Structure 1
């Protein structure tokens, strides 16, 4: 009788280990879905929006930089990643395109 009891106990243990394996795979799958929808997808969406912003810049656009400067684009270098930004009539600076965070509506500088 003890041999039969051991045989039944071995089968029961094997069935629970298969169920445990499926549960672990499901948990990993849920974690990967969470990672994709809450981390990877929003980050790639922001990068795509920033790339579209950089390609749409033109001379005369009023922009806001990441440092808080507001100015008008005076010159865009075709071969480099730098632009000349006119802060007022006398002051202009050269910055990288990457530091532009937003394109402002026309007339924003005069309303300030």
Structure 2
């Protein structure tokens, strides 16, 4: 009339253990394709933009300041906000390049 505990535990089997992980695997796959992968692509595009930064570019910093790049060093750039007002910013804090200058012909 009553099932013994040992008999009831054996009913799940090995297939039940794998089936319980399938939703977890699906959630991870969905998170990867909807969140992680697009973010990695955006980071790569930002790195390319920062590496291509050159003198004369009109930029927007992460703080919302608009200016013109005067000098580009290894990890930082000097941006002129107004005539005679220059600030040094870390290159990775440049959020957008509004207008690019053409490279000088050699």
* Normalised-by-shorter TM-score class: 0.7 to 0.9
Q: Distance in 1 between matches of 2:10 and 2:86?
A: 74
Q: TM-score normalised to the size of structure 2?
A: 0.77
Corresponding position of 2:103: none
Runs of 5+ consecutive residues of structure 1 not aligned to the other structure = 107-112
Higher Cα radius of gyration: 1
Which residue of the partner structure matches residue 93 of structure 2?
A: 99
Q: How many residues align?
A: 98
> How far apart in 2 are the matches of 1:51 and 1:87?
23
**Could you tell me which of 69, 72, 91 is aligned with 1:76?**
72
The superposition leaves residues 47-95 of structure 1 with CA deviations (integer Å, 9 ceiling, x where unpaired) of 1111111111111000000111000000111xx3111101122211111
Moved more, 65-74 or 87-96: 87-96
Identify, as 1 or 2, the structure richer in helix: 1
Is 2:43 the partner of 1:58?
no
2:15 corresponds to 1:22? no
Considering only aligned residues, what root-mean-square deviation do their CA atoms show, in Å? 2.4
Distance in 2 (CA, whole Å) between partners of 1:36 and 1:97 is 28
Query: Structure 1 residue runs of 4+, over 3 Å off?
Result: 12-15
Whether 1:88 aligns to 2:85 is no
Provide structure 2 residue ranges, at least 5 long, that are not aligned to the other structure.
101-106
